Amino acid sequence: MAALGMDLSVKAYPGAGIGLRDSGQLALAELIRAQANESWRVAFEVPTREDGRQAADLVFFGVSGGLHLELESRLVDFQAQLRSGQLKREAIQQRHAARFAFVLALRDTLANRAAVRAHAGVVRAALPSRSSDIWRSIRTGGPMQADGLLWLRPAMQRRAIRR
């Protein structure tokens, strides 16, 4: 290309389909689903846009609302990940005319812990519910009062896979 005096440029556009991004994310989704109380109706990849190009990773539907979980292996851009999750949650709430708590489900790694610790005040203000509160809601089928951050430990994942 240099001989022609041109630069090479590549553009990427969203694909037509939606889906959990990798086997690691699928394992996290299965780990959470396996812990769910039978009163929850669990759905994966719930569309949040009319064109079907955006979806919530995992949604728990209850009698009067539920939980919307976005599964992340790495905390890369907290603001963007939070905003995307909140917008998806708003779409789910509008479509189902019910309240849903937003949960950022994050793999528990040293890097993710450090990223959260560096901005603990902002993260806690945006996602006040603790992992223990979220797990209680998932396991009992009870509602959550606030959005939260759910830590997913690798040891939990290994135990779930061996079952």
Does residue 71 lie within any of the structural domains? yes
Is the CA virtual torsion 144, 147, 153, 156 positive or negative?
Answer: positive
pLDDT beyond 80 at 7: no
Least confident of 23-32, 68-77, 105-114: 23-32
**Each residue of 130-163: pLDDT tens digit?**
999 999 999 999 989 899 999 998 665 445 444 4
Cα of 151 vs its chain's centroid, Å:
11
d(CA 145, CA 143): 7
In the prediction, which pLDDT does 154 show? 66
**What's the length of the chain?**
163
Q: Per-residue pLDDT tens for 29-87?
A: 888 999 999 999 999 998 888 877 889 999 999 988 999 999 998 898 899 999 999 99
How many Å apart are CA 44 and CA 58, to the nearest integer?
Answer: 5
- DSSP codes, 9-72: -------S-----SHHHHHHHHHHHHH--TTSEEEEEEE-STTS--EEEEEEEETTEEEEEEEE
Q: Starting from the edge strand earliest in sequence, which strands make up the sheet with 99-107, in order?
A: 41-47, 55-62, 65-72, 99-107, 148-152
- pLDDT(24) > 80: no
Residue 53 maps to a domain: yes
The answer as to whether 4 is a domain residue is no
- Indicate whether 130 belongs to any domain: yes
151 falls within a domain = yes
The CATH number for 72's domain is: 3.40.1350
Position 38 in a domain: yes
Give me the pLDDT at residue 27, please: 82
* Domain span including residue 80: 18-162
pTM of the model: 0.79
By mean pLDDT, which of 8-22, 83-97, 109-123 is the weakest? Answer: 8-22
Residue 150's Cβ-side half-sphere holds a number of Cα atoms within 13 Å equal to 26
Residues in Cβ contact with 33 at an 8 Å cutoff, skipping those fewer than 6 apart: 42, 58
